[in-house]
Structure 1
Amino acid sequence: MSTASMVPPATLDVASTPRTPFVRLVQVEWRKMVDTRSGFWLLTITAGLLALVMALIVLVVGLNDFQVDARGISQGMTIPVSLLLPVFAILIVTSEWSQRTALTSFTLEPHRSRVVLAKLVAVTTLAVCTIAVAFVLGALTNVLCAAVTGNPLEWNLDGSELVWLVIQQMLFFAMGFAFGMLLLNTPGAIAIYYVIALMLPLMVWGTLYAIFDWAKDVLPWVDLGFAMAPLSTGADPLGRPVDVEAVTYVQTAFTALVWVGVPVALGMWRILRAEVK
């Protein structure tokens, strides 16, 4: 009898496989974010809200001959952006875990931190684009209001206020992203974001700020919007003009650290250690 020859098993050597380019990762995350039914409808509804706000401002100003300025219009046009688009920042993280696609993503790109960073770049790009569109529509609204009423154009939006208004919107996007990383659960992250970013400032903090003197000192250390109001609007949350002081920058940095920095750090730690199923 002849001895059967042993054939060594085939091996797959992936040691020399090049790393996935980071730009490609960003492109993939961008498509995951906008090339879906939820992404399509979020963008469509936001565009509809921007057009509605624009039409309402022109209509009210035209009927009542109000004097409006670029500052007020720009603040109004950022409201639709703040309402719905931060949900993108949440979904881009949590959808991987709720739809069980994290295993595929982290298999194709084992370095989880690169995937998370690509998600952050994609959602930041979307935020910049939508904020730019909102400001362009705001400028157009200002021109239309001047044409309807015959009043002179008011371009009184200070450059520093514009920059801080953009930073504020970006921080709210980052807050949604942070909550998504920390919870990895879509309903929970969305609910907590809207409670902290919208419901508490409108229903609780605003009332306390208007009634109690101690709230004026405490709330800027608690809420990001209250801390940044003097920087982005030149006024306090009640609309009264205030001077920006050194403590304003400290309060902004502290609230950003609490609501963005800490959740991002804890969320990254969780994602890097979480079991992928």
Structure 2
Amino acid sequence: MTATLEPTPAAAPMAAARPARTAPAPTPFRRVLHVELRKMFDTRSGFWLMASIVIASVVATTLTVLLGDRDSLTFESFASAVGSPMSVVLPMIGVLAVTSEWSQRTALTTFTLVPSRPRVLAAKLLDVLAVGAVAMLVALGVGALGNIVASAITGNDAVWDIAASTFAQIVLANELGMLVGVVLGLLFRNSPAAIVGYFVFALVLPGLSSALAVAQDWWADNGGWFDLNQTRFLLFDSTLTGEEWAQLGVASLAWVVLPMLLGLRLVLRSEVK
């Protein structure tokens, strides 16, 4: 009996090639802005730091009404009182907006979800500047309310002696302080070190600069080109001359722009763990 060969079944067709996977679309920058802004408020420390802006403004205004010379109170009196705590609180917001990624160990998650570190850092920077501007508007409103209350208590007419240009200079001075905080956060990426660094910048260096100005006439005449605090403080009190604006620009380049570029380079090249 002869064996017959049965025809072998046709080879199964090759599995259809899988369609090429498309790269996911990048996270919209507006969403990154929103998320980074929420992160500034979501933690307990962040919430109370933001709340301290309003609390400090109310306390400063109340003390001005209660303890100030009521016959000479003006809008500038309240603006000066509110501006003092703002000059301390706002730079801390700039510091913590950057260092929180490392102190709270969220940097790995953040840069995994949004691999483009420049976009994240740009969002943080814009959020910091926006918070600073809104905070100054809140402080302005609280100061204006205090001026009205003081006028009602004393029976004197309210004096509104701060021009829009002067207020813009005050906002610029505080924004520069916040940018210094951001710079220190980028350089150190450690909250305590960056905060100490800011207080050295804001409290120690002005004293050293003043002592140097007493000892050296050259520094007394030209220190404004190198000392950011010296020209930044002028923004609170007076209208700057053309030379003083130039000094502010040069000092900002030395203390804000160049260190920020260095800090950005360090963050972009650092290993996130």
**Stretches of structure 1 lacking an aligned partner (at least 5 in a row):** 235-242
The root-mean-square deviation of aligned C-alpha atoms, in Å, is 2.6
Q: How does 1:243-254 map to 2 (within 5 A)?
A: 244-254=240-250
Determine the structure 2 residue equivalent to 1:113. 118
Superposed, 1:73-222 pairs within 5 Å as 73-201=78-206, 203-205=207-209, 216-222=220-226
Q: Structure 1 residue 111: deviation in Å?
A: 1.0
| Counterpart contact for 2:49–2:89, Cα < 8 Å | yes
Find the structure with the greater CA-based Rg: 2
Cα separation, 2, equivalents of 1:12 and 1:29: 35
User: What is aligned with 1:276?
Assistant: 272
1:66 and 2:71 aligned: yes
Deviations 1:212-247 (CA, angstroms, capped at 9, x unpaired): 86554244233323213444311xxxxxxxx73221
Q: Which residue identity is paired with 2:229?
A: G
Matching residue of 2:7: none
Counterpart amino acid of residue 49 in structure 1: A
Structure-2-length-normalised TM-score: 0.85
Contact 1:25-1:115 at 8 Å conserved across structures: yes
* TM-score, with structure 1 as normaliser: 0.84
C-alpha distance in structure 2 between counterparts of 1:12 and 1:72, whole Å: 69
Using a 3 Å threshold, how does the CA distance of structure 1 residues 67 and 269 change in structure 2: closer, same or farther?
A: same
The aligned counterpart of 1:36 is: 43
1:264 aligns with 2:260: yes
Q: Which of residues 24, 28, 31 is equivalent to 2:31?
A: 24
CA distance in 1, matches of 2:19, 2:58: 56
Task: Tell me if the contact between 1:98 and 1:185 (Cα under 8 Å) persists in the aligned partners.
Answer: yes
The alignment partner of 1:249 has SS state of helix
2:231 counterpart of 1:224: no
5+ unaligned residues in a row in structure 2: which ranges?
Answer: 1-11
Question: What amino acid maps onto 2:99 in structure 1?
Answer: T
2-structure distance, mates of 1:198, 1:47: 24
Q: Deviations over 1:106-135 (max 9, x none)?
A: 111111100101111222221111111001
Mapped contact 2:53–2:135 kept (Cα < 8 A)? no
| Helix, strand or coil at the partner of 1:85 | helix
Instruction: Please give the alpha-carbon distance, in whole angstroms, between the structure 2 residues aligned to 1:153 and 1:144.
Output: 9
Residue 34 of structure 2 corresponds to residue 49 of structure 1: no
Q: How many residues align?
A: 260
Secondary structure of the corresponding residue to residue 136 of structure 1:
helix
Query: 2:105 & 2:241 partners in 1: Cα distance?
Result: 48
CA drift at 1:27: 1.2
Q: Does 1:15 align with 2:19?
A: no
- Give SS of 2:73's match: coil
Mean Cα deviation higher: 115-124 or 44-53: 44-53
Point out the more displaced range, 108-117 or 67-76.
67-76
Report % sequence identity: 37
1:29 deviates by 0.8
Equivalent residue number for residue 237 of structure 1: none
CA shift digits 1:33-58 (9 cap, x unpaired):
11101112212333322211111100
8 Å CA contact 1:219, 1:227 repeated in 2: no
1: CA distance, partners of 2:230 / 2:71? 27
